[in-house]
């Protein structure tokens, strides 16, 4: 496979915000021409599904117009609990034979009709089973109607759909490169968890040896904090979110158990629930195969910017934890100022295309 160097627009559509990157991946670097974050109305896009096509189309067209985005080739990155992913072992074979085997196997594994899904797969390596060499294959299947709706959305926004990427694949591509995070070289020989803290969900990707080896979605997110703050302080959801961002300090080194802070008490209580679920997923991954371990955690996504969160997670899970604030392979252009990649990881990874 070769890397494709061309200007692309990548749209990462979430339940609360759209993150758009216009740029180019070339020779191991990503040149960012434009980086845009724009809120969308609640309920317009949920779990990978377009709930209000007209509203979402208008929002994207407005963003493109206001920001004078002139490119046409577009990629969408998304995630959904409707996407089925599996790791399977298959006999070593030519591509056409693999195509048929993957479709057959996915129907045997799961109660789906392959013709109703778009099925993609990638060969992750080889292994020996019962003395026979086999391919380790990652398979992802997305409902065709979901794929079709996203492609139609892109077309009706005046863009040309080039690809649909999953968040897990986009993140894996980004960190399979030789990359420094916050000035420290990302060690691909160790196992790291990338935790994407979103508004409606938390996604965990586990990477080892430049490969995505595990991915899970937790149906919890920052909205629970906003809802609780809104109730307790009699605020709108917008006001509650602003209060959370401005007043949060989860750094345990700054915590004084003798001084009550209602706002941070609420935030901590919700984050503790997140951590309980994250810990369960970590334990499951570690128990799957002898020798599995997790060496460190990187936080990304909208809620990852809460003050002191990385230190709080590090202490709670007893694991080195960093919030992603810098990637050396990302080169912001003249029109992009003070660019922080932590909210744009999925869109940045979506710019990396291979043929």
Lowest mean pLDDT among 132-136, 317-321, 340-344: 132-136
The model's pTM is 0.92
- Computed over every residue of the chain, the mean pLDDT equals 92
Q: Categorize the per-residue pLDDT at 258 as very low, low, confident or very high, splitting at 50, 70 and 90.
A: low
CATH code of the domain containing 93: 3.30.1490.300
CB–CB of 210/256 below 8 Å? no
Q: pLDDT (tens digit, 9 = 90+) per residue, 9-39?
A: 999 999 999 999 999 998 889 999 999 999 9
Q: What was the pLDDT predicted at 181?
A: 96
Q: Give whole-number Cα distances, 100 to 120, 137, 187, 277, 336, in Å.
A: 12, 13, 36, 37, 45
Q: What was the pLDDT predicted at 2?
A: 41
CA count, 13 A, side-chain hemisphere, 19: 23
Domain count, the chain: 3
- Own/partner contacts of 315-320, CB < 8 Å, gap of 24 or more, are 315/252, 316/272, 316/275, 317/275, 317/278, 317/279, 317/282, 319/294, 319/295, 320/295, 320/296
Same domain, 37 and 171: yes
SS3 of 207, please? strand
Q: What was the pLDDT predicted at 338?
A: 83
Same domain, 52 and 168: yes
Q: In the predicted model, what is the mean pLDDT of residues 154-163?
A: 96
Q: pLDDT (tens digit, 9 = 90+) per residue, 48-77?
A: 999 999 999 999 999 999 999 989 999 999
Task: Compute and round to an integer the Cα radius of gyration of the chain.
Answer: 21
Q: Which two tokens stand for residue 190?
A: 């160790």
Q: What was the pLDDT predicted at 302?
A: 92
Same domain, 124 and 255: no
CATH code of the domain containing 204: 3.30.420.40
Same domain, 313 and 185: yes
* Alpha-carbon dihedral angle through residues 92, 95, 101, 106, given to the nearest 10 degrees: 110
Same domain, 186 and 236: yes
Does residue 327 register a pLDDT over 90? yes
Burial class (CB in 10 A: 0-12, 13-18, 19+), 349: buried
**Of 193, 207, 243, nearest to 222 (Cα)?**
243
CA distance 320 to 250: 16
Same domain, 26 and 148: yes
* 197 strand-pairing partners: 202
Please state, for a pLDDT cut of 70, what percent of the chain lies above it. 97
Same domain, 187 and 45: no
Please state, for a pLDDT cut of 90, what percent of the chain lies above it. 76
CA distance 24 to 342: 18
Does residue 355 register a pLDDT over 60? no
Q: In the predicted model, what is the mean pLDDT of residues 241-247?
A: 96
Same domain, 320 and 336: no
Dihedral pair phi/psi, residue 90, rounded to 5°: -135, 150
More confident residue, 183 or 113: 183
Q: pLDDT (tens digit, 9 = 90+) per residue, 170-189?
A: 999 999 878 999 999 999 88
Q: Categorize the per-residue pLDDT at 5 as very low, low, confident or very high, splitting at 50, 70 and 90.
A: low
Domain with 286, as residue range(s), is 180-326
**Of 43, 325, 2, nearest to 184 (Cα)?**
325
CA distance 322 to 215: 19
Q: What was the pLDDT predicted at 216?
A: 94
Does residue 94 register a pLDDT over 50? yes
Q: In the predicted model, what is the mean pLDDT of residues 125-144?
A: 89
Does residue 230 register a pLDDT over 60? yes
Same domain, 315 and 355: no
Does residue 321 register a pLDDT over 80? yes
Same domain, 73 and 205: no
Q: What was the pLDDT predicted at 1?
A: 44
CA distance 47 to 58: 20
Q: What was the pLDDT predicted at 52?
A: 97
* 53 strand-pairing partners: none
Same domain, 186 and 274: yes
Same domain, 218 and 269: yes
């Amino acid at each position: 496979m070769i890397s494709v160097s061309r200007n692309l627009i990548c749209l990462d559509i979430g339940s609360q915000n759209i993150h758009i990157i216009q740029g180019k991946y070339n020779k191991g670097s990503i040149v960012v021409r434009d980086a845009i974050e724009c809120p969308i109305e609640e309920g317009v896009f949920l779990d990978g599904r377009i709930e209000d096509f007209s509203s979402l189309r208008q929002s994207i067209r407005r963003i493109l117009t206001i920001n004078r985005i002139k490119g046409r080739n577009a990629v969408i990155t998304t995630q959904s609990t409707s996407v089925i992913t599996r790791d399977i072992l298959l006999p070593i074979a030519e591509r056409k034979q693999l195509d048929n085997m993957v479709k057959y196997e996915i129907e045997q594994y799961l109660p789906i009709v392959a013709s109703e899904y778009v099925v993609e797969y990638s060969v992750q390596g080889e292994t020996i089973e019962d003395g026979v060499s086999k391919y380790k294959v990652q398979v992802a299947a997305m409902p065709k109607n979901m794929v079709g709706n996203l492609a139609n959305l892109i077309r009706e926004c005046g863009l040309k759909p080039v690809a649909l990427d999953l968040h897990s694949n986009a993140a894996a591509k980004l960190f399979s490169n030789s990359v420094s995070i916050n000035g420290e070289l990302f060690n691909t020989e160790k196992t790291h968890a990338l935790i994407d803290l979103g508004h409606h969900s938390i996604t965990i990707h586990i990477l080892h040896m430049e490969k995505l080896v595990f991915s899970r979605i937790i149906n919890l997110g920052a909205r629970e904090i906003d809802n609780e703050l809104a109730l307790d302080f009699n605020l709108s959801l917008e006001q509650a979110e602003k209060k959370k961002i401005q007043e949060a300090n989860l750094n345990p080194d700054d915590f004084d158990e003798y001084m009550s802070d209602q706002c941070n008490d609420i935030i901590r209580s919700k984050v503790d629930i997140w951590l309980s679920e994250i810990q369960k997923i970590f334990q499951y991954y570690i128990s799957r195969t002898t020798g599995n371990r997790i060496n460190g955690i990187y936080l990304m996504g909208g809620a990852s910017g809460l003050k002191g969160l990385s230190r709080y997670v590090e202490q709670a899970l007893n694991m080195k934890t960093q919030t992603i604030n810098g990637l050396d392979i990302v080169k912001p252009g003249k029109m992009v100022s003070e660019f922080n990649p932590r909210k744009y990881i999925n869109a940045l990874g979506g710019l990396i295309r291979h043929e």
